[in-house]
Structure 1
Amino acid sequence: MTHTELVVWSGLAIGVLFGSTAQASGFCLLRSLANTTIEGDTRKLRAFALAMGVALIGSQSLATVGLVSLDASLYATPTLAWLAVPLGGLLFGYGMALANGCGARALVLLGSGNLRSFVVLVCLGLTAYMALSGVLAPLRLWLESAASLRLAATSLPSLLGLPDWLLALLIGGALLGWAFAAQEFRASPRDWLGGLIIGTLVPAGWYATGVFGFDDFEPVRLATLTFVAPIGESLQYLMLSTGTRLGFGVSVVAGVLLGALATALLRRDWTLRSFDSSTHMLRSMVGGTLMGLGGVMALGCSIGQGLSGISTLSLTSFVAVAGIVLGAQLGIRRPLARSNS
């Protein structure tokens, strides 16, 4: 087995674990924010915080022992597009609320029989590629170049003058401590086990691409869990697979679908669902479109920036996540943004 094949199979396994865990636990940033805002139930939010803390400590541990260099990730940018990144996060977060979940959640729901998510994913993937290299790319590039700031440091530890491992322990420990501080969360293994597993998958992705994918002549790009560009790449691969090579991101997407499908069938939770009205369909289409554009502008989604980006302690990731959370909160508070998944 070549190193590229090993990376692809690793991505498939990581995707299956993510899809299975997210389907069984209901892991979702939007759901966690909505439950906290509307119902005062913080268990899902604590699960996301736990995943963030585990991803951060695990990823920085790999970097500290020299197995991977997180400086090679796409999140370690020397400049901050101070308009495009927060605006992209805002668009993604609001689109996430309109579509009732991010791209990763849409994959899980599609695997569970939710046909509405298919529309969300198609709109997300198409718009993401339009923004990456299509008709929307000039606008994105103009926004990035028109308002950018060269950073004195690319990561929070560099800015504060602290070792990466120390800040990772401080922030990660605080996230874990807050997550387990609530008795109702500790009494909900579905939530804390889901957060623990998904958080572990982030350093697993860094390891798969950075260690399994290491080769002097044909290195694999360092990457881990993220879903905006990979969903677009998956659509492209389905159409143009002849003569192209399967990559880590596409294999993760396929794995999420398979994992969610298998778990839904095992739990007898697989049910075909469709749109209730034309307005519902339009909301999903707009939500997917906003997530595709916003995710590219923000360099990631609620998983790509919220877990993977934060695990690198990138300053850009903190800005992007703030925009995503703000956009989601604006969407949650609008009646048209809420409907059953």
Structure 2
Amino acid sequence: MSHTELVVWAGLAIGVLFGAAGQASGFCLMRGLANRWTRRDSNKLRSFALAMATALLGSQALEAVGLVSLGNSLYPTPAPSWLAIPLGGVLFGYGMVLANGCGARSLVLLGSGNLRSFVVLVCLGLAAYMALSGVLAPLRIRLEDATTLALPARDLPQLAGVPGWLPALVLGGGLLLWVMRSSQFRASPREWLGGLLIGALVPAGWYVTGVLGFDDFEPVRLASLTFIAPIGESLQYLMLSTGTRLGFGVSVAGGVIAGALATALVRRDFHWQGFTGPGHMGRSMAGGTLMGIGGVMSLGCSIGQGLSGFSTLSLATFAALAGIVAGARLGITGPLSLSKI
């Protein structure tokens, strides 16, 4: 088996585990924020925070022992756009509220029989490629070029002049302390097991692409869990598979659907679901489109930036995450919330 084939099969396994954990636990940043802001229930938000801490500590441990160099990933950049990244985060955050879940959650829901998610995913994938290399790409590139900001460092360790494990211990430890303060959360294995497993899949992704995928002549690009470009690539692969090569991101996306489907069937949670009306469908289409465009502008989604990007301690990631949370707030309790439009 070649190193590229090994990466594809390992990516499929990671996707299956993500889909199974996501279906069983209901892991979702949007739901976590909504529950916290409207019901004062922080269990799902703590599950996401636990995943962040696990991804951060595991990824920085891989770098500390010299297995991967996270600086070679997409996220740490010395000259990000001070406007495109947070604005893209806002668009993505608002879009995931309209669509009732991010791209990763839509893959999980599709595997559980939710046909609404199919429409969201198609719109997300098309919009992502429109912004990456299609009709919206020139506008995006001009915006990025006009708002580039040269930073003194690419990531938090470089900015502070310390090894990566030190801020990882501080941030990861702080998140773990907040997470475990809740006795209700500690008494919910469904929540903490889901967060722990999904967080652990992020360093697994770095290991697969950075170690198993290493080759002197044809190395695999260092990557981990992210779902904006891979959803677009999946649509492209379905149409052009005889002329393209299956990659890590596409195999992960397919694995998520398969893992969610298998888990839903075992748990007897599989149910066909559709739209309640044209308005509902329109919101889902708009949400998928905003997530696709916003995810490209912000260099990732709630999983791509929220877990994988965060695990690199990239400075740009903090701006993207702030934008995602602000966009979600706008759609959940803000002036553009669904109850007010």
Fold match (TM-score > 0.5): yes
Contact conserved, 1:283 with 1:337, CA < 8 A, in 2? no
Contact conserved, 1:67 with 1:211, CA < 8 A, in 2? yes
The alpha carbon displacement at 1:333 in A equals 1.6
- Report whether the alignment pairs 1:181 with 2:189: no
CA 107–337 in structure 1, closer or farther in 2 if over 3 Å, else same: farther
In structure 2, how many angstroms separate the alpha carbons of the residues matched to 1:168 and 1:102?
A: 26
Q: For each residue in 1:122-168, what CA deviation from the matched residue of structure 2 results, as whole angstroms up to 9, or x when unmatched?
A: 00000000000000000110110011101110001111222211110
Specify the alignment match of 2:132 in structure 1: 132
**Which amino acid in 1 is paired with 2:292?**
G
Specify the alignment match of 1:192 in structure 2: 192
Match of 2:118, SS? helix
**Which amino acid in 1 is paired with 2:241?**
S
In structure 1, how many angstroms separate the alpha carbons of the residues matched to 2:332 and 2:242?
A: 42
Specify the alignment match of 2:170 in structure 1: 170
The alpha carbon displacement at 1:243 in A equals 2.6
The alpha carbon displacement at 1:176 in A equals 1.0
In structure 2, how many angstroms separate the alpha carbons of the residues matched to 1:179 and 1:51?
A: 10
5 Å matches for 1:84-163?
A: 84-163=84-163
In structure 1, how many angstroms separate the alpha carbons of the residues matched to 2:189 and 2:335?
A: 32
In structure 1, how many angstroms separate the alpha carbons of the residues matched to 2:15 and 2:329?
A: 28
Specify the alignment match of 2:10 in structure 1: 10
In structure 1, how many angstroms separate the alpha carbons of the residues matched to 2:270 and 2:223?
A: 31
CA RMSD, Structure 1 to Structure 2 (Å): 1.1
Q: For each residue in 1:57-113, what CA deviation from the matched residue of structure 2 results, as whole angstroms up to 9, or x when unmatched?
A: 000000010000001000011112000000000000000000000000000000000
Specify the alignment match of 2:62 in structure 1: 62
Q: For each residue in 1:202-257, what CA deviation from the matched residue of structure 2 results, as whole angstroms up to 9, or x when unmatched?
A: 00000000000000000000000000000000000000010311000000000000
Specify the alignment match of 1:271 in structure 2: 271
Specify the alignment match of 2:255 in structure 1: 255
Identity over aligned pairs, percent: 73
Specify the alignment match of 1:305 in structure 2: 305
**Which amino acid in 2 is paired with 1:206?**
W
Match of 1:266, SS? helix
Match of 2:235, SS? helix
The 4+ residue runs of structure 1 with deviation greater than 6 A are none
Specify the alignment match of 1:237 in structure 2: 237
Q: For each residue in 1:251-286, what CA deviation from the matched residue of structure 2 results, as whole angstroms up to 9, or x when unmatched?
A: 000000000000000110000000001000000000
Q: TM-score, normalised by structure 2?
A: 0.98
In structure 2, how many angstroms separate the alpha carbons of the residues matched to 1:75 and 1:336?
A: 30
Match of 1:238, SS? helix
In structure 2, how many angstroms separate the alpha carbons of the residues matched to 1:47 and 1:133?
A: 35
Contact conserved, 1:100 with 1:338, CA < 8 A, in 2? no
Specify the alignment match of 2:323 in structure 1: 323
Tell me the matched-pair count: 339
In structure 1, how many angstroms separate the alpha carbons of the residues matched to 2:335 and 2:323?
A: 20
**Which amino acid in 1 is paired with 2:76?**
A
In structure 1, how many angstroms separate the alpha carbons of the residues matched to 2:134 and 2:244?
A: 20
Specify the alignment match of 2:283 in structure 1: 283
In structure 2, how many angstroms separate the alpha carbons of the residues matched to 1:128 and 1:41?
A: 33
Contact conserved, 1:98 with 1:336, CA < 8 A, in 2? no
Contact conserved, 2:330 with 2:336, CA < 8 A, in 1? no
In structure 2, how many angstroms separate the alpha carbons of the residues matched to 1:335 and 1:276?
A: 24
**Which amino acid in 1 is paired with 2:15?**
G
Contact conserved, 1:99 with 1:337, CA < 8 A, in 2? no
- Report whether the alignment pairs 1:23 with 2:23: yes
Contact conserved, 2:330 with 2:337, CA < 8 A, in 1? no
Contact conserved, 2:202 with 2:225, CA < 8 A, in 1? yes
In structure 2, how many angstroms separate the alpha carbons of the residues matched to 1:303 and 1:337?
A: 23
Unaligned runs of 5+ in 2: none
Specify the alignment match of 2:201 in structure 1: 201
**Which amino acid in 2 is paired with 1:16?**
V
Q: TM-score, normalised by structure 1?
A: 0.98
In structure 2, how many angstroms separate the alpha carbons of the residues matched to 1:137 and 1:244?
A: 22
Unaligned runs of 5+ in 1: none
Contact conserved, 1:124 with 1:290, CA < 8 A, in 2? yes
Match of 2:226, SS? coil
Specify the alignment match of 1:75 in structure 2: 75
The alpha carbon displacement at 1:336 in A equals 7.8
Q: Which deviates the most, 157-166 or 305-314?
A: 157-166
